[in-house]
Amino acid sequence: MTQTRGFGAPFRYVQGPDALKALPRLARPHGRKLLTIIDPFLHDRLKRALETYLARTEVTSVFHKFGGECTLAEIASLTKLARQTLSEVICGLGGGKTLDTAKLVAKALKKPLIIAPSSAATDAPVSAMGVIYHPDGRHLRCELLDHAPELVLVDSTLISQAPIRLFVSGLGDALSTQFEAQANALSNTPNYVGPGYRPTLAGLAVAEACQRVIMKKGLKALKALKAQKLTQDLEDVIEANILLSGLGFENTGCAGAHALHTGIHEIEGSNRLYHGEVVAFGLLFQLALEKAGPKKLSPILAFMAKAGLPLCFSDLGLRPSPKNLALISARILDGNSGIEAEPFPVTKPLIASALNQANRLGQAYRNDHPHLPPALCRP
């Protein structure tokens, strides 16, 4: 691996209550004509709000309701629309797939990119990476951008109004960041910055900070969210879910937890699951793969259970049948899933064994704690 270190990040990150009101001022240095791609579930409400914010400014926007899946066809269609409307800036507003589509349209056109997430469900907003899917929702590939967005604008008021399950999914995604960073550091695997570099001390420190904030404040933030209170703890965890987790994974790398996310989408019925829910169970899989002891596993299991994250296959609504385990294993080993960052050779039998062990650990924890609430994703 190269001795050259690399660190990537958005040009600007702005977070706070009603932050979307600042969009015209913050967008203006990049251009006056926006193409704003909005999540279909939020389109009408947010289009009206943005029209109000843009009124009486020199910044205008064409609005497009996102089709729901980040496919090659959707990217091509919106790239054509941006050219036809002479858009100078691409803006994505919504969930992960909406944002990924905006990223890849901006990449195709080499235009400035503004990302405004509607939830803290993943760390996708700050990354220079987009995930492309087949029309039926199966994972196709990840694609790197030339750099992270020019602006990530996080409206914590909007985030606090999103379904609680989305926020919990973000906790699951962020929870894996430090563990995957450690695996990459041990295996000396290049990060995702440009062609891939050795992680900087800053990248590793961000991953550690992410873990510290999630474990210390995650459950308190969840309590505040349920009470509809925008507390400092909630603001801190929104930042951890989005910024710290995003900078952490991109500057250090993914490993077993995200590899499971890639593999599990080969199973019928998995598309109903959120990214962070699968990654959370993927963390248990990674820890089983790495033969982690009770000292490391116990606090993770306790946190996940209290947060409402899945602990086993039944929580995910899936069966660990030999057929399903074979499908997951084959896809994980198919290339670029993240499993290659583990600091030891990984085989199909090892994957199946770790999946079964993670499932047993989660089921045993539930059996030992019968009064736990069910996982939010449980069918």
3-state secondary structure 192-251: CCCCCCEECHHHHHHHHHHHHHHHHHHHHHHHHHHCCCCCHHHHHHHHHHHHHHHHHHHH
Catalytic residue among 173, 233, 236, 315: 173
100 in catalytic set: no
Would you tell me how many other CB atoms lie within 10 Å of the CB of residue 226? 10
DSSP 31: -
User: Does 39 participate in catalysis according to the annotation?
Assistant: no
Annotation says 147 is catalytic: no
Active-site residue identified among 43, 64, 265, 275:
275
Distance CA 127, CA 125 (A): 6
Contact of 155 with 18, CB cutoff 8 Å: yes
Catalytic residue among 30, 43, 258, 265: 258
> Is position 258 annotated as part of the catalytic site?
yes
| Beta carbons within 10 angstroms of residue 322's beta carbon | 9
CB distance 105 to 81 below 8 Å: no
Tokens of 157: 């008021």
**Which residue from 201, 183, 124 is spatially nearest to 344, judged by alpha carbons?**
183
Distance CA 330, CA 347 (A): 10
Of 30, 43, 261, 265, the active-site residue reads 261
Q: Are 362 and 368 contacting, i.e. CB atoms less than 8 angstroms apart?
A: no
- The residues that are catalytic are 173, 258, 261, 275
